[in-house]
Amino acid sequence: MFTKILIANRGEIACRVIVTARKMGIKTVAVYSDADKDARHVMLADEAVNIGPAPSRDSYLQAEKIIAACKQTGAQAVHPGYGFLSENAQFSKRIEEEGIVFIGPKHYSIAAMGDKIESKKLAGAAGVNCIPGVNDAIETAEKAVEIAKGIGYPVMIKASAGGGGKGLRVAFNDKEALEGFTSCRNEARNSFGDDRVFIEKFVEEPRHIEIQLIGDSQGNVLYLNERECSIQRRHQKVIEEAPSPFISDKTRKAMGEQAVALAKAVKYQSAGTVEFVVGKDQSFYFLEMNTRLQVEHPVTEAITGLDLVELMIRVAAGEALPLTQADVQRNGWAIECRINAEDPFRNFLPSTGRLVRFSPPVQTMWQGDTEHLYGVRVDTGVQEGGEIPMFYDSMIAKLIVHGKDRTEAIAKMRDALNGFVIRGVSSNIPFQSALLAHPKFMAGEFNTGFIAEQYAQGFKAEDVPHDDASFLTALAAFVRRKSRARAAAMSGQLPGYGVDAGNGYVVVTLAPDGQHSYTPVHVDEFVGATGSARVRVGSTTYEICSASRLNDIAISGTVNGKPFTAQVERGTPKNPLALRVQHNGTRIDVLVMTARVAELYALMPYKAPPDLTRFVLSPMPGLLVELAVSAGQKVQAGERVAVIEAMKMENVLFAAADGVVGKVMAAKGESLTVDQPIIEFV
């Protein structure tokens, strides 16, 4: 067994590998870029080596720097994680040539299966059902359009070295094929250093179901059940679960055996995943093979009770698999939510910056621990006070729950999301809460087009299902009553002028347009010692009991005898006196007042925000990589005006209306802040 391994990655996956290595008594070496010098994975590792500037092409994609770090530290093996160089056959080969063990498949397996074009050809030769398409690299955008027409729209334009949604577009017409081909090549070149692109038929209403494999150097390959990964937004997985609520035992067995046969054909060892597109009738087609550990591996770990990272390390050290196919278990139901730094209410724009608060829900399951299951697990590479940089992907954490069945797992996940406190950057937690409460998701009736269909106009606050809207109002009044009780108990108050906590309040729900709503609320039978009260909103009564302290953002307790977790904090960006209340994805900003103060507040004039429609503003922090217009140019609505790169994705800005460019206020190559003006129209 190795005594020291180097992790050629960053973020949560680097932290994940370190945890299992430590459990096995193996020392770890982290590598880091200038942007990651204070990152969590650097602090967790036994040693750390700087490998260059912030952009990944200058650091995490530099194979020679990683090899040099191995030699410098005496690391005997390299775990590549996922992304970066994890599926680069040349990197794997170079590592082996230097006498270092690659904790992953052999380079010839990566070359055969990791390359999307070659893997399709090999799968076809092996008799595996493949989706119609052209598996050779396409040279020009014009040729791409010609091929797309021949296959028939819609088509999928895909980078050969792509992964994680990068270098992938779906085109429904010639214009989209032309533009999509160019964008794919650019993204692939920047993210993977390989700009080969191919095209295949896009199967509409498909399910994305993948089989987890593990193989050893003795020729044994097992399938560890499946993962349902159909809940995707722009081809990025959002929620993953194991098992799938869709496929039958017969289909599971057939998919598993086919995946194993494919892996054995390329002498596959280590962890890998075969992805399938599954039709309504449970017919399945080979999509691709990921020759690495997947982001969503924890859900498989939960239902099988196996530590996949440990198995990868043991197989790489030459050990045989410690179990047979008959030993593979499938217990309970696991769900993973990817918590990303993006604003779901602003079309999921990336959100970078400092994590002012980062407090995940209480963990009862841990990485590398196969004993304590049926709980909550958080995989993350960040910590409170840390930075979410714009150079890498947007993932903050992965939230994993394990329940006895799917219903219990969904309930656990909703509660865990309610208790996940993230401040300083926006997160997609409200969106995740809405998805989990959607009737079709709860019934297991969805495919890869689910998010695009259900949220075609984008995600808005009103899209979040309201279990009980007035509960948030009641909770705000309860917390305010608690605060007044503490103020009333303070010593040194003048006789006759002490704080009167009272029991009659008006909760003013603040609206951006100034059309606030006023709700009378009564709080009776408040008992400070037990943190309990009876709160009446209209004709509805809530018996709330919570021992949480006033400075806790995440508060828990019971309402009418049922447990709840919610978030309440004082102060919003626009009003330091307001309370912000969040529960099950719904958020309200309120002021809790006496009836007289509310009466006076209603008389306050509304100040409208300034008109910024003549400006094109940067919707996110990022790099201005393209300016498509110049001063004096006439622009039509919908015309491309600029491209901003953030978190490895290109974001195109379009003109909202016809106009003439008066002034260009930012230069190509400039780092932009959120809402920074780029163009002014006259």
C-alpha to C-alpha distance for 285 and 583, rounded to whole angstroms? 40
- Distant-in-sequence, close-in-space partners of 107: CB < 8 Å, separation ≥ 6: 89, 90, 92, 93, 96
For residue 503 the two structure tokens come to: 């029991």
Evaluate the omega torsion of the peptide bond into residue 344 and state whether it is cis, within 30 degrees of 0: no
The token duo for 553 is 């953002």
CA atoms 324, 329, 335, 339: torsion sign = negative
- Please give the Cα distance from 522 to 536 (Å, whole number): 5
16: tokens are 């994940």
Read off the tokens for 564. Answer: 């709840």
Cα–Cα dist 288/589, whole Å: 46
SS (HEC) of 63-79: HHHHHHHHHHHCCCEEE
Please check whether residue 263 is in contact with residue 215, taking contact to mean a CB–CB distance below 8 angstroms: yes
| Contact of 228 with 242, CB cutoff 8 Å | yes
3-state SS, one letter per residue, for 430-451: HHHHHHHHCHHHHCCCCCCCHH
288 is catalytic: yes
Q: Coil, helix or strand for 385?
A: coil
Q: Report the alpha-carbon distance of residue 17 to residue 367 in Å, rounded.
A: 9
At residue 97, φ and ψ (nearest 5 deg) are -60, -30
The whole-angstrom separation of Cα 59 and Cα 254 is 42
State how far the alpha carbon of 196 is from the alpha carbons of 69, 107, 202, 647, in Å: 30, 19, 19, 21
Instruction: End-to-end CA distance of the chain: give it in Å, rounded.
Output: 69
DSSP 628-662: ---TT-EE-TT-EEEEEEETTEEEEEE-SS-EEEE
What does each C-alpha distance from 335 to 252, 446, 525, 563 come to in angstroms?
Answer: 18, 15, 40, 21
- In sequence order, the 6+-apart residues with CB closer than 8 A to the CB of 604 are none
Q: How many CB atoms are closer than 10 A to CB 282? A: 16
Q: What are phi and psi of 49, to 5 degrees?
A: -125, 130
What whole-number distance in Å separates Cα of residue 195 and Cα of residue 573? 43
Identify whether 430 is preceded by a cis peptide bond (ω within 30 of 0).
no
Q: Give the pair of three-digit tokens for residue 436.
A: 């989990």
Report the sign of the C-alpha dihedral through residues 420, 422, 426, 427, in that order.
negative
SS3 301: helix
Cα dist from 99 to 73, 210, 218, 241, 539, whole Å? 14, 33, 20, 38, 74
3 state DSSP class of 514: coil
Q: What share of the chain is helix, strand, coil (3-state, %, to 5)?
A: 30, 30, 40
What burial class does residue 616 get, using C-beta atoms within 10 Å of its C-beta: 0-12 exposed, 13-18 middle, 19+ buried?
buried
Chain centroid to CA 322: how far?
Answer: 33
Residue type, 67: I
Strands 77-79 and 4-7, sheet pairing: parallel
Q: Which of 12, 240, 241, 288 is catalytic?
A: 288
Catalytic residues: 288
